[in-house]
Amino acid sequence: MRKYVIMGVQGSGKGTQSALLAADLDLVDISVGDIFRWHVKSHTKLGAQVRRVMARGELVGDDLVEAVVRDRLQQHDWNYGFVIDGFPRNRRQAEFFLESYDIDGVIHLDLPDKEVWRRVLARRLCSGCGMDYNLIAHRPETDGRCDVCGGELVTREDDTPEALTRRLAEYHDKIDPVIDLFRGKEYVITVDARADRATVQREIRERLGLPAYTPAA
């Protein structure tokens, strides 16, 4: 059983790296942001509660987030473990998590703010299936259309300069102390996220003592 947390500023490749790790090691890939986006898109009661907060790039309240994480992990579909992305986002969430689950490692993807701006403003999302694209590193074959389902590619509602400024400030204010807290428990590996996705994945595997990464041809 392997339980990992993946942390890093927006655009550092958390989604990509956790998907690669999860697919190969049979881990369940849990993205708290994706769960909230699903609720917004599906017009659930929870979606209505979080929609505006998310669009402004602000954090959803801790009680709500902890309930969502608890519910998700209670599904117990993670026989081989999980990798969780987007949580914990502050010290209180980190303490809740450490009390409830033992963690095998925290993957910290390190990316300078300047590169974050470049990447995030190029990010697109399929409005049909939710697949991620990036106009710099992962362009769709046809402009504006998803390679998988043909859906329209859109900008995430919170990928605006205003929201990004807010999220970066929030990140440094709240997440740096969380990383310090985990580092005190010797869980953290910090990986330079400026490299290409295969290099980053290889380094994560090496540092966590996991089977080597061989990209699909």
By annotation, the residues acting in catalysis are: 14, 89, 123, 156, 167
Query: By CB under 6 A, how many residues form the interface with ligand AMP?
Result: 16
Name the nearest CA neighbour of 41 among 156, 162, 164, 188: 156
Out of 28, 46, 53, 98, name the contact with ligand AMP by CB under 6 A. Answer: 53
The amino acid at residue 9 is V
Nearest in space to 57 (alpha carbons), one of 129, 9, 108 = 9
29 forms part of the interface with ligand AMP (CB under 6 A): no
What is the contact mask toward ligand AMP in residues 155 to 174, using x (rule: CB under 6 A)?
A: ---x----------------
CB 30 within 8 Å of CB 72: yes
Q: Does 96 bind ligand AMP (CB under 6 A)?
A: no
Q: Which stretch binds ligand AMP (CB under 6 A): 50-58, 71-79, 98-106, 109-117?
A: 50-58
CB of 107 to ligand AMP, least distance (A): 14
Q: How far is CA 117 from CA 14, 123, 161, 194, in A?
A: 16, 10, 8, 13
User: Quick one: which segment of 41-49, 85-93, 185-193, 199-207 binds ligand AMP (CB under 6 A)?
Assistant: 85-93
Q: Is 124 an interacting residue with respect to ligand AMP (CB under 6 A)?
A: no
Stretch that binds ligand AMP, among 29-37, 103-111, 143-151, 176-184 (CB under 6 A): 29-37
Of 89, 108, 119, 123, the one binding ligand AMP by CB under 6 A: 89
In the bound complex, what is the minimum distance in angstroms from residue 59's beta carbon to ligand AMP? 4
Pairing state between β 81-85 and 132-134: unpaired
* Interaction between residue 36 and ligand AMP (CB under 6 A): yes
d(CA 80, CA 26): 6
Q: Which is nearer to ligand AMP, 10 or 18 (CB)?
A: 10
User: What is the residue whose two structure tokens read 């392997």?
Assistant: 2
Sign of CA dihedral 154, 42, 29, 23: negative
Q: How far is CA 182 from CA 28, 131, 155, 174, 209, in A?
A: 22, 30, 33, 13, 19
Contact residues toward ligand AMP (CB under 6 A) are: 10, 32-33, 36, 53-54, 57-60, 65, 86-87, 89, 93, 158
